[in-house]
Amino acid sequence: MRNCLIAQSGGPTAAINATLAGIVKANQLNKFYEKIYGALNGLEGIFSLSLVDLTDMSELENEILIQTPASALGSCRYKLKKDNPLDFEKIFAVLDRYDIETMFYIGGNDSMDTVASLDQYAREHAIKGHRFVGCPKTIDNDLMHIDHTPGFGSAAKYIASTALSTWQDYSVYRRREVFILETMGRDAGWLAASACLSGIVDILILPEVAFEKAVFLAEVKRCLEEKNKCYVVVSEGCKYADGTYIAAADSADDSFDHAILGGASGALKNMIIESELSLRVRVLNLSNAQRCSVTDLSKCDISESFELGKYAHSCSTDKSFSGKMVALRRKQQEEYEVEYFTIEADKIANFVRSFPLEWVLPNYRGVSNDALEYMRPLIKGSIKILYEDGLPAYVKPYYLR
Amino acid sequence: MRNCLIAQSGGPTAAINATLAGIVKANQLNKFYEKIYGALNGLEGIFSLSLVDLTDMSELENEILIQTPASALGSCRYKLKKDNPLDFEKIFAVLDRYDIETMFYIGGNDSMDTVASLDQYAREHAIKGHRFVGCPKTIDNDLMHIDHTPGFGSAAKYIASTALSTWQDYSVYRRREVFILETMGRDAGWLAASACLSGIVDILILPEVAFEKAVFLAEVKRCLEEKNKCYVVVSEGCKYADGTYIAAADSADDSFDHAILGGASGALKNMIIESELSLRVRVLNLSNAQRCSVTDLSKCDISESFELGKYAHSCSTDKSFSGKMVALRRKQQEEYEVEYFTIEADKIANFVRSFPLEWVLPNYRGVSNDALEYMRPLIKGSIKILYEDGLPAYVKPYYLR
């Protein structure tokens, strides 16, 4: 019996630890690996031999891990240097040293690129005995070939719930007022669109639709004339037709060449103030809170994320299984249900799935019923949260122990 | 049997409707008023005769009302013109017209000023037959003579929970990073201090302590040198020694001469970037979300807010009871328990209770154990939330029906 290793990478979500917990639990129920190692801070932990032993995680720790937001193993944005074999050699040396049969990598499309590259390197160099399995996660819901991504449902539930609550709040005064909610999502509008599940969004600005200031202001004016109020939701990645973000990037690019976004709501606020449509404009940029809120976890999301972990473990017992990502798709039937399948990691890597244009209503008026029907099951159900002194109980991050 | 009228005023909270529900429920259990009217948008609804009948609210509506954030009756910031009898004459005419024996006013210190003024006007003009009862609410926890204010516990729970979650989130990368969380609270630091219940706050900036940029930056530097991370919590109302806010007010004053605050976190971020202590500074301004989050409701807060409503109803059956506010105090005993009492509304009006300086640790290092022990019981317990399609069920605001 050999060992396995799990690492987490990319931006954390509120569900990424459920997948980790699922892999660990699956091995306890159906022992295939002697030891389960966790690498701290993704690839960095492999390079630095910073590993923890997760094999005998207690039932209680597993339960609390499931409800703990953000990567409990830590994360990294380190990108493999593909044209330089040094990174690969180092990784395979560590896998040999710890007798790792399978490496599970939980992450987004950059992480699937890592899975595909490691698998390809092994094949090209005829290295036997190590296999690579990807588990998806991203709140952005922008991975190809998967019905939706683990982490999206909980973020969507938090966003829609916050939209509903802040709408109740900003509505109480009769005065003219605009509220602007800003979500993450990079170049995909899924998260912003999820706010429409609340039923209160007047104007929705997605990255998929080129931003036109005049149309936007005309819509704000129409809402204010109709009811003195206007609730706007904007995605951080919104752009003008020429591709420039409506928010000036507020910092340098990160090492993945993703622009660090944020500030679209402030830009819209300034447009409204300058146009004198309303003097009162409240802004809420959900920032990191949208990917780590635990009291709004979606039961659907957490269950599926956990199951994907178990499924990944199960797939990995097939000795020819490598270079693939586990995924889920919706069954073609009335009632919502998913089935799990696998797909080559290189079909996921470096692609982005946009929010479908056919689901976007004209003039920023939100999304179609088809979009709502797609999203609604994903935010269904709540999980019972364990508390400690009035706050959700979390495992202490392994990288800080 | 005569009638009563309830109105809500000032900034909404997540618990203000629990008090409304408590008054209605008390009258159903122990009928004293023939009809319970709700005035829409506070005093404005009285002036415009916009009233709703709440007498026979269903059990289900009462339950959902309890978990509905923000003033379901709407709010206003209208301030009585004390030197002009016209406002008073109008109000008393409406009270006569609807045979209102008791007017309940749920609000903060400005609202208690209204209660005191109406009572005083009645006495000075020998107007009989109308009585005025105040019910406290404010997330700011800044009312005098009350152990804590309804609404504070839930806001504190949300803030501490968000601090804990975002700390888990920003910690996952090893890179140098500062996180800044901004809370409301106007000139009182209670809300910002509540973040310390999470146990992860490195630096806490309160309005009660004059801000010194050099000390702040030295503390940030110390944290970053120690662990490459620094979690800062700042109250919107933080000021330099000369009284100027560290955030430039971003809009005009409101009609109560309260500055509209917000932006302290951005100011701190700029200081850190300019000083080159860290290039990566994430900001989360909780904005309105902190006063309307429902999935983080504190059971202690909601139960007490509901009980205060029932207690107000009970007190009001005494025909000499007027010009007072219902309140609560902590019993002098080991285990947390409160008792209810009443106090003259004019002892509350226009005073602000600051966060005690003896609870503040030097060099912005947070609050003492005494402070934590004071706050801890207030965030205890969660209530079972009723959901609809994956989102918390709310009553439709009465002012939009």
Q: What is the pLDDT of residues B266-325, one digit of tens each?
A: 999 999 999 999 999 999 999 999 999 999 999 999 999 999 999 999 999 999 999 999
CATH number of B3-150+296-351+382-400: 3.40.50.450
Judged by DSSP in three states, A27 sits in helix
How is domain A153-291 classified at the CATH fold level?
Rossmann fold (3.40.50)
pLDDT for res B79: 86
Q: Categorise residue A161: left if φ over 0, alpha if ψ from -120 to 50, beta otherwise.
A: alpha
Beta strands in B279-371 (DSSP E): 281-285, 324-330, 338-344
pLDDT for res B249: 41
**Which chain A residues are closer than 8 Å to B279 by Cβ?**
251-252
**Which chain A residues are closer than 8 Å to B387 by Cβ?**
382
pLDDT for res A81: 87
CB–CB contact B41 A251 (8 Å): no
Q: CA B89, CA B113: separation in Å to the nearest integer?
A: 17
Which CA distances in Å does A13 have to A125, B109, B227, B393? 35, 41, 23, 25
Q: Is A140 one of the catalytic residues?
A: yes
- Nearest-CA neighbor of B17 among A172, A177, A228, A200? A172
CB–CB contact B169 A70 (8 Å): yes
pLDDT for res A11: 93
CB–CB contact A198 B162 (8 Å): no
**Do A206 and A368 form a contact (C-beta atoms < 8 A)?**
no
CB–CB contact B197 A390 (8 Å): yes
Q: Give residue B143's identity as a one-letter amino acid code.
A: L
**Which chain B residues are closer than 8 Å to A70 by Cβ?**
165, 168-169, 171-172
Q: Name the phi and psi angles at A125, rounded to 5.
A: -105, 15
B279 to chain A, closest Cα gap in Å: 8
Pairing of strands A131-136, A324-330: parallel
Q: Would you state the structure tokens that stand for residue B104, as one six-digit string?
A: 């309940």
DSSP-assigned beta bridge partners for residue B324:
B133, B344
HSE, CB side, 13 Å, CA atoms: give it for residue B344: 5
Q: CA B209, CA A360: separation in Å to the nearest integer?
A: 50
Q: What count of other Cβ atoms lies within 10 Å of the Cβ of residue B15?
A: 30
CB–CB contact B397 A168 (8 Å): yes
Pairing of strands B51-53, B36-39: antiparallel
Which CA distances in Å does B134 have to B176, B234, B280, B321? 50, 31, 47, 11
Kind plus residue range of the DSSP H or E element containing B235: strand B229-235
**Do B207 and A109 form a contact (C-beta atoms < 8 A)?**
no
Percentage of chain A lying above the pLDDT 70 cut: 96
Q: At what angle do helices A299-315 and A152-170 cross, to 10 degrees?
A: 170
The residue in chain A having the minimum alpha-carbon distance to the alpha carbon of residue B196 is A391
Q: Give residue B162's identity as a one-letter amino acid code.
A: T
Q: CA B391, CA B388: separation in Å to the nearest integer?
A: 5
Residue A291: which of B169, B198, B400 has the nearest Cβ?
Answer: B169
> Domains of chain B: which residue ranges?
3-150+296-351+382-400, 153-291
- Give pLDDT tens digits for A96-138: 999 999 999 999 999 999 999 999 999 999 999 999 999 999 9
Q: Is the ipTM of this complex over 0.90?
A: yes
pLDDT for res A334: 93
Pairing of strands A324-330, A338-344: antiparallel
Q: Categorise residue B383: left if φ over 0, alpha if ψ from -120 to 50, beta otherwise.
A: beta
Place B247 in a pLDDT band, splitting at 50, 70 and 90: confident
- Give pLDDT tens digits for A172-199: 999 999 999 999 999 999 999 999 999 9
Q: Would you state the structure tokens that stand for residue B73, as one six-digit string?
A: 């009756």
Number of helical H runs and strand E runs in chain A: 11, 13
Q: Is domain A3-150+297-351+382-400 annotated with CATH 3.40.50.450? A: yes
Q: Which long-range contacts (CB under 8 A, 24 or more apart) does A174-177 make?
A: A174/A228, A174/B41, A174/B44, A174/B74, A174/B76, A174/B399, A175/A228, A175/A280, A176/A224, A176/A228, A176/A229, A176/A278, A176/A279, A176/A280, A177/A228, A177/A229, A177/A230, A177/A278, A177/A280, A177/A281, A177/A282
The residue in chain B having the minimum alpha-carbon distance to the alpha carbon of residue A44 is B174
Residue A394: which of B168, B280, B295 has the nearest Cβ?
Answer: B168
Kind plus residue range of the DSSP H or E element containing B219: helix B213-227
Residue A380: which of B171, B294, B390 has the nearest Cβ?
Answer: B390
Question: Which of A17, A75, A165, A270 is best to mutate for the B interface (most B CBs within 10 A)?
Answer: A165
- Give pLDDT tens digits for B109-120: 999 999 999 999
Q: How many CB pairs under 8 A join A and B?
A: 184
Residue B283: which of A162, A287, A397 has the nearest Cβ?
Answer: A287
Residue B294: which of A165, A282, A287 has the nearest Cβ?
Answer: A165
**Do B388 and A197 form a contact (C-beta atoms < 8 A)?**
no
Q: CA A235, CA A248: separation in Å to the nearest integer?
A: 13
Question: Which of B180, B200, B274, B391 is best to mutate for the A interface (most A CBs within 10 A)?
Answer: B391
- Nearest-CA neighbor of A328 among A151, A149, A104, A153? A149
One of B119, B140, B187, B296 is an active-site residue; which one?
Answer: B140
Question: Which of A148, A164, A169 is best to mutate for the B interface (most B CBs within 10 A)?
Answer: A169
Judged by DSSP in three states, B113 sits in helix
CB–CB contact B172 A75 (8 Å): yes
Q: CA B134, CA B349: separation in Å to the nearest integer?
A: 11
Average pLDDT over residues A73-82: 90
**Do B160 and B131 form a contact (C-beta atoms < 8 A)?**
no
Q: Which letter does DSSP use for residue B233 in this model?
A: E
One of A87, A110, A113, A140 is an active-site residue; which one?
Answer: A140
Judged by DSSP in three states, A274 sits in helix
Q: Calculate the CA dihedral of residues B204, B205, B211, B216 and round it to 10 degrees.
A: 40
Lowest-pLDDT choice from A237-246, A256-265, A300-309? A256-265
CB–CB contact A165 B298 (8 Å): no
Q: At what angle do helices A109-124 and A85-97 cross, to 10 degrees?
A: 80
- Nearest-CA neighbor of B203 among B163, B244, B234, B166? B234
**Do B160 and A27 form a contact (C-beta atoms < 8 A)?**
no
Q: CA B125, CA B117: separation in Å to the nearest integer?
A: 12
How high is the mean pLDDT of chain A? 95
Is the pLDDT at B252 greater than 50? The verdict is: no
CB–CB contact A289 B162 (8 Å): yes
Question: Which of B152, B173, B273, B401 is best to mutate for the A interface (most A CBs within 10 A)?
Answer: B173
CB–CB contact B160 A391 (8 Å): yes
Q: Would you state the structure tokens that stand for residue A150, as one six-digit string?
A: 């683990």
Q: CA B65, CA B57: separation in Å to the nearest integer?
A: 10
Is the pLDDT at A250 greater than 50? The verdict is: no
* Equal fold, B3-150+296-351+382-400 vs B153-291: yes
Q: For chain B, what percentages of helix, strand and coil (3-state, to nearest 5) are there?
A: 40, 20, 45
Lowest-pLDDT choice from A259-268, B25-34, B181-190, B377-386? A259-268
Residue B169: which of A166, A284, A292 has the nearest Cβ?
Answer: A292
pLDDT for res A83: 87
CB–CB contact B168 A70 (8 Å): yes
**Do A337 and A330 form a contact (C-beta atoms < 8 A)?**
yes
**Do A38 and A5 form a contact (C-beta atoms < 8 A)?**
yes
CB–CB contact A174 B44 (8 Å): yes
Please say whether the dihedral angle defined by the alpha carbons of residues B250, B253, B254 and B259, taken in this order, is positive or negative.
Answer: positive
**Which chain B residues are closer than 8 Å to A276 by Cβ?**
none
DSSP string, B138-201: -TT---TTSSS-TTHHHHHHHHHHHHHHHHHHHTSS-S-EEEEEEE--TT--HHHHHGGGGS--
The pTM of this model reads 0.96
